[in-house]
Amino acid sequence: MPPFHRPRRIELEYQRALDALMRSWWKAFPHSADLETIFAYLHNGGGERVIQASERLARAMVTQTAVQNAVSWRDAARKSSQGKRIYDLLRSEMAGPVGGVMRGLVSQHAKLVRSLPQDIAQDVAGQIATRQMRGERAEAIAKDIGSRLPGIAKSRIALIARTQVSVTAESITRARAQNLGANWYSWLSSEDSRVRPSHRKMDQVLVRWDDPPSPELLVNEKFVGRYNAGNVFNCRCTSAPIIDLDEITFPAKVFYRGTITRMGRAKFQQIAA
């Protein structure tokens, strides 16, 4: 199968860029202010400077991810009987559906970066209410919250970088695959001790892009939604598009009609037609 790797380097670069943006924003933070002023600052979101920076960071991340993803597709093209078609689609994709997906991803991620301060405000609102009910003075709470906000932001930035770079990579893989007519992929886990049980269950399972599973329900865990590989928080899984059936060893595990079943080549060709 083609090596559609998780873009770890891009994830780290994106996290560093978000950290730098937030550090520059914290320099003007009113650390000695009252709670009302702190919340007003957070909800302001940093103004025009952060808006412009968010667009620039989002575009850079999506572009870098798309370039790395194209390397995987070119590698797949060299090994595939559809090599020329893959190369042709890569050259013309920005004018078609893949370009639309990438533009949508830039807009989506820029909005997420811009909303980061407001999201932090929501995170700390519950903590403040609890402490006020315990009788703590507002001045003491404001001072403590102000000192801890950079740390709160850092943990949230790490989650954003991990999740959104993965979602971007998988969204671009899917758009390119479906543009090629490759409607199925193999779900690949990281195959290490950190893989959650539900995703270990999905390892090397063939999945149709438009019929994603709920991995949690498959192992009797709490439902968190139906999603494709790499499209949920902290997921390190990747998708390998099925370009040629010769890449698959049959019988193969297939997610079909809400369950995982072993299926021979003839049966799979029948449902994949």
pLDDT value of position 231: 94
Half-sphere exposure of 257 (CA within 13 A, CB side): 5
Q: What is the pLDDT of residues 116-153, one digit of tens each?
A: 877 877 777 777 778 878 888 877 877 777 777 778 78
Q: What SS3 class is residue 152?
A: helix
- Per-residue HEC secondary structure of the chain comes to CCCCCCCHHHHHHHHHHHHHHHHHHHCCCCCCCCHHHHHHHHHHCCHHHHHHHHHHHHHHHHHHHHHHHHHHHHHHHHHCCCHHHHHHHHHHHHHCHHHHHHHHHHHHHHHHHHCHHHHHHHHHHHHHHHHHHCCCCHHHHHHHHHHHHHHHHHHHHHHHHHHHHHHHHHHHHHHHHHHHCCCEEEEECCCCCCCCHHHHHHCCEEEECCCCCCHHHHCCCCCCCCCCCCCCCCCCCEEEECCCHHHCCCCEEEEECCEEEEECHHHHHHHHC
pLDDT value of position 18: 92
pLDDT value of position 217: 97
Q: Residues in the chain with pLDDT < 50?
A: 1-2
Domain ranges of the chain: 1-182, 183-273
Instruction: Record the tokens describing residue 257, joined without a space.
Output: 């009609």
Orientation angle between helical segments 116-133 and 35-44, nearest 10 degrees:
160
pLDDT value of position 146: 72
**Residue 126 carries which side chain, given as an amino acid letter?**
G
Which residues are CB-neighbours of 33 under 8 A, at least 6 positions away?
41, 142, 146
pLDDT value of position 31: 61
pLDDT value of position 38: 73
Query: Considering only CA atoms, which of 249, 260, 65 is closest in space to residue 175?
Result: 65
Contact (CB, 8 A) for 128 and 35: yes
pLDDT value of position 241: 94
pLDDT value of position 238: 93
